[in-house]
Amino acid sequence: MKTRPIKRRDFIKTLSLGATASLLPQNIFANFHKEQTKRPNILMIAVDDLRPQLGCYGDKNIISPNIDKLAEEGVLFERAYCQQPICMASRNSLLSGYRPDYANIYNTKPLAELIPDALTLNKQLEKNGYDIWATGKIYHHTVDHKKQFGDKWIKPKGEWEGRGYILEENKKIMREYALEFPNLNRSGSSDGRGPAFEIADAPDNAYPDGESTNLALEQLRKYSDSDKPFFMSIGYRKPHLPFNVPKKYWDMYPVEKIELAGNPYLPKNATKYTQFNFNELRNYFGIPKGEETIPDDLAKTLIRGYNASVTYVDTQIGKLLEELDRLNLRENTLIVLWGDHGWKLGEHGMWGKHTPFEIDAHAPLIFSAPGFRNGSRVKALTEFVDIYPTICELSGIPIPKHLEGDSLVSLLKDEKADWKSAAYTQWPKHKRYEPDKVITAYSIKTDRYRYIEWTRNGTAEILARELYDHLNDPNENKNIADYPQNLQIIKGLSKRLDGGKGWRNHKSQ
């Protein structure tokens, strides 16, 4: 039988009575309407490589009306940071609740191998009565999707090949490219890589993300007649490379209006560890190899493709939100949207993620929960390890003791609530498969500064330092770590960083 949606005023009344999930995990929804006792449904939307280049984050060039609307109806976190700027480690950390140093999450192995018995977010929700379902990219590895969701993870299927090519000429290029460069990655093949972008006059579901949306819409309709709360995860692969989306989205961004990055150079006083050769992009067909720069005309096409991909995903998200409303599910559904890390579009002369800069670590985070303030903006420094405990508290289920983040519920209630004063991100630069040989950049983001220490794992040796003053240099164009007048600032931040362990002293009380 179709359940009656919870009214917003009933949720607010529950909160006013102080029935927070952390205190009464089984009874948070006991004060709802007598006919409705189910916990909130949860829709988690993960977007690959999405930097906070959205209208709701102040970007006037990006067309993102649906994410913007979600932000207007929820709470936007202006300064949210991933724990590591790479897909697999960021996701494994967020979904397991551990920071990357735990069990070497910083390398590229699946969570099933690193922490076989991990009590992940989806497992904790399932354990506590939620029906779980997922499509697209939630974890990075297929083995993790299968272990975590079993047959509840549905992989989108279509006529595309490799990394989502539908044009025959690009499928041919992809096959030939795989023969010419069989060792582009550890799997021993080009891994389905062809051109770095594709412009095809095709419907949305001709590509994987469009088909994932269709699968999700179908599942939502099934859930609309269920009495059991659901945890539904949709992982969009765009705007990850290659930038393959329908032509109509490319047409929204005329090439003559595309602007190149304003700082296509390394920071002044950059260390020898700062440079990264962005092989993720270089491994695609048609992209200069080695250390060649990206020509301006190609750079504009890539930026245009990234923008088009963002708008394509925004449209898919709009379809989900519209269906939630149509099915009368929205009033009892918690929505959380996050991008797994930032992405460089020529800034500092680089492309992609894989560096400890602000532009790599900073990513979008939006919560829309029944009963919380619409259109609120939180300026507090928050981290992706905070997402897991937040969902638990909002769902009225126990928060596992192993979690290394803090619930954001106090900030959802009051953006000026007392909160931790720093966010931590790390990046392992070398030999991620050999822990004793890894060189890691540990960074701390405070209200004013980003401070980075390049260290050798297993030792206290600091190989290099970077300090950026966001008050005077928000784009991190000048490393001021070696300036004598900053010695005391360096000492203080180094103590707070504590070799990457300083987060233990910054947990919110």
The catalytic residue positions are: 87, 140
Asked if residues 349 and 390 have their Cβ atoms less than 8 Å apart, the reply is no
Q: At what angle do helices 208-223 and 296-326 cross, to 10 degrees?
A: 10
CA-closest candidate to residue 335, choices 355, 320, 345, 316: 320
Q: How far apart are CA 466 and CA 482, in angstroms?
A: 8
408 phi-psi bin (left φ>0, alpha ψ -120 to 50, beta other): alpha
Question: What distance in Å separates the CA atoms of residue 94 and residue 82, rounded to the nearest whole number?
Answer: 8
DSSP-derived 3-state class of residue 1:
coil
Q: Judge contact between 381 and 445, C-beta under 8 A.
A: yes
Side by side, the strands of the sheet bearing 439-445 are 423-428, 439-445, 449-456, 462-469
Q: Which amino acid is located at 91 in the chain?
A: R
The answer to whether 489 and 391 have CB atoms below 8 angstroms apart is no
How far is it, in rounded angstroms, from Cα 386 to Cα 81? 10
Q: Compute the residue count for the chain.
A: 509
Element (H, E) at 153: strand 153-154
Q: In angstroms, rounded to a whole number, what is the distance separating the alpha carbons of residues 202 and 247? A: 7
Task: Pull the structure tokens for residue 267.
Answer: 């920071």
H or E stretch at 123: helix 121-127
